[in-house]
Structure 1
């Protein structure tokens, strides 16, 4: 019986993961669920944002369904004890370096997009973000210059092995989709990006069926709003991927609609699945959160970790049907509660 670790976390995390779990249970797939504390809830309940028991659960699970972490009450804690360290610790401990962030405009949400309807309808892409390197994980600190000024520094770095493994996932994804891979970097000014571009170009020789297009990050941001339909798979580093995927969410209507998967290989392996939105403490407990991203993340869990594409397709089709039928949470201009949106998806199943 496949084991799903449910790490709901903070803020709206428990609300949206509850709806995702309801959908999974409705499919009657013989899944076993086990809850674990994480984030601010982990710190309050067990003295650490990633308690040993939670990490052990994640390691033995077949897939991890994650909510969100972040709690303003924990902002004064030392950095190693803050809620956000939980997700970084899980990615590192599980070796999850490949972050899949699909962005697709669901029919009926054209008015929710920041783009014109005819442009927004063309969005159907995946941003593949490298997850364990780059400036977020490089050497960092505060130092004093020779002039006595405080100076912050963060080192951006990738080695060729790190680039090779994420690029390979990108080519494999593109091969399964439309056969176009955009590699996003800033090779015109960054040596890290120049190495990235060189390595990606080397790997392209092994994938003659995939068209490789190099694009600078600033141009990619512009093209996402100008002509998003040109993109199929975008592979990029940690920081650029973080920024571009949030931009893509507003092109697709709402950040509450975008799921994600953190993987270490394409399929049949433990992965971590979460909505790309944060804990949203300002609306936590009010029933206003959109659970669709969490529900769609559950579909990704079925597809990639459990290799159950048919029920994954059913979940995605049910979300699409609910949206076409007029189901809307406040972020989409509607008035349905979190559980009401979950009811609409369940009805569509």
Structure 2
């Protein structure tokens, strides 16, 4: 069945699967179990997916991270499920710049959505911070800013060698991500938006960014908006995370803040993300924010929760919020029970055991819900 034919069927969705490198295939496999059980518990939902073996091994064989028509192959899917990329055999700037970044940019996935939430059953490394204190979302600009491919090297291999990397902030790109951030803030009870800047030291792009924050803020007087310098904001992530609701940042600042956010809620093994094209003109991509972790690849101890939580975000994007909530609730129930935990969470369970526990909990919780509906 062609992907455009699949789209015509109600609640049938096509997904491109890119497991990637290292622990990527291991955690993606657990994510596929979740997709299958969601089909089982929701009879109207079907997922049709294809696998693409684009990774560093592919690069060593073909000299490319994906084929020349790779982006064309992906464009008809509803979503993309990504594992992780990176291996010691290929420089990181090659693997990232030839796989993830082209996908994000070509498909205008300009929103990188990363929840920072302390899940039930876990304790934060921060003393005295509860689940209510750690529940916000970071919105990172995903297609320009500090990760722009503008610059180069001069006089390579000489004492005069020079490297230049330019930041690129466009009005169009800044406006669309900030408008999205304001809209998310409007949908949340606190109606609060915190924006990262560094306009006291980066004297061209950051004042420009600040100006646009304020311009758009004039259209949303009901939103409590604050601009913080990135260094102070990083400190506040530790000292007063309860003050945040929606946090917006440029490509680099958002990237750094969300790794810090993951650390304060339990680690990178728990942190999901969505690379979203809000207009839905192109497929969006969902992935854990952790890397390929080559040091533990093949050991079967990787935590699959970040990958599975990314599927929860995918369900929300596909307008299946009941399934998104079910997946996240199942994760929390397994953690709250505490019997099955991977080593990064202080347990002894392997990757498959954690995935199986979440799948079983999804099935159990769905059964209870269905029985409740029949009463």
- Is the pair's TM-score, using the shorter chain for normalization, greater than 0.5? yes
**3-state SS, counterpart of residue 210 of structure 2:** helix
Following superposition, the deviation at residue 51 of structure 1 comes to 2.0
Structure having the higher Rg: 2
Residue aligning to 1:216: 229
Contact 2:342 2:350 in 1 (8 A): yes
Following superposition, the deviation at residue 144 of structure 1 comes to 4.9
Q: Determine the C-alpha separation between the residues in 2 that align with 1:283 and 1:229.
A: 33
Match of residue 164, structure 1, among 175, 179, 187? 175
Following superposition, the deviation at residue 215 of structure 1 comes to 0.9
TM-score after normalising by structure 2: 0.86
Q: Determine the C-alpha separation between the residues in 1 that align with 2:53 and 2:106.
A: 16
TM-score after normalising by structure 1: 0.93
Q: Does 1:183 align with 2:210?
A: no
Residue aligning to 1:26: 37
Q: Determine the C-alpha separation between the residues in 2 that align with 1:101 and 1:329.
A: 22
Residue aligning to 1:75: 91
Residue aligning to 1:55: 71
Q: Does 1:116 align with 2:110?
A: no
Structure 2 regions of 5+ residues with no counterpart? 1-11, 40-44, 363-375
Residue aligning to 2:324: 312
Q: Determine the C-alpha separation between the residues in 2 that align with 1:117 and 1:292.
A: 24
Closer, same or farther in 2 for the Cα pair 1:34/1:242, shift >3 Å? Answer: same
Following superposition, the deviation at residue 226 of structure 1 comes to 0.2
**3-state SS, counterpart of residue 166 of structure 1:** helix
Farther-moved stretch of structure 1 (121-130 vs 241-250):
121-130
Following superposition, the deviation at residue 143 of structure 1 comes to 3.0
Closer, same or farther in 2 for the Cα pair 1:119/1:323, shift >3 Å? Answer: closer
Contact 1:9 1:69 in 2 (8 A): yes
**3-state SS, counterpart of residue 315 of structure 1:** helix
Farther-moved stretch of structure 1 (50-59 vs 86-95):
50-59
Deviation per residue, 1:101-144 (Å, 9 max, x gap): 1110012211xx33114356511111111111112214222335
Structure 1 regions of 5+ residues with no counterpart? none
- RMSD (Å) for aligned C-alpha atoms: 2.0
Residue aligning to 1:293: 306
Q: Determine the C-alpha separation between the residues in 2 that align with 1:57 and 1:142.
A: 33
Residue aligning to 2:250: 237
Residue aligning to 1:198: 211
Match of residue 129, structure 1, among 137, 140, 146? 140
Deviation per residue, 1:281-322 (Å, 9 max, x gap): 111111111000000101111111x11110111000000001
Q: Does 1:342 align with 2:333?
A: no
User: How many residues were matched structurally?
Assistant: 342
Q: Determine the C-alpha separation between the residues in 1 that align with 2:211 and 2:96.
A: 37
Residue aligning to 2:26: 15
Q: Does 1:276 align with 2:289?
A: yes
Contact 2:342 2:348 in 1 (8 A): yes
Aligned counterparts, 1:241-256, within 5 A: 241-256=254-269
Q: Does 1:93 align with 2:106?
A: yes
Closer, same or farther in 2 for the Cα pair 1:152/1:268, shift >3 Å? Answer: closer
Q: Determine the C-alpha separation between the residues in 1 that align with 2:330 and 2:121.
A: 14
Closer, same or farther in 2 for the Cα pair 1:60/1:67, shift >3 Å? Answer: same
Residue aligning to 2:162: 151
Following superposition, the deviation at residue 149 of structure 1 comes to 3.4
Following superposition, the deviation at residue 91 of structure 1 comes to 0.8
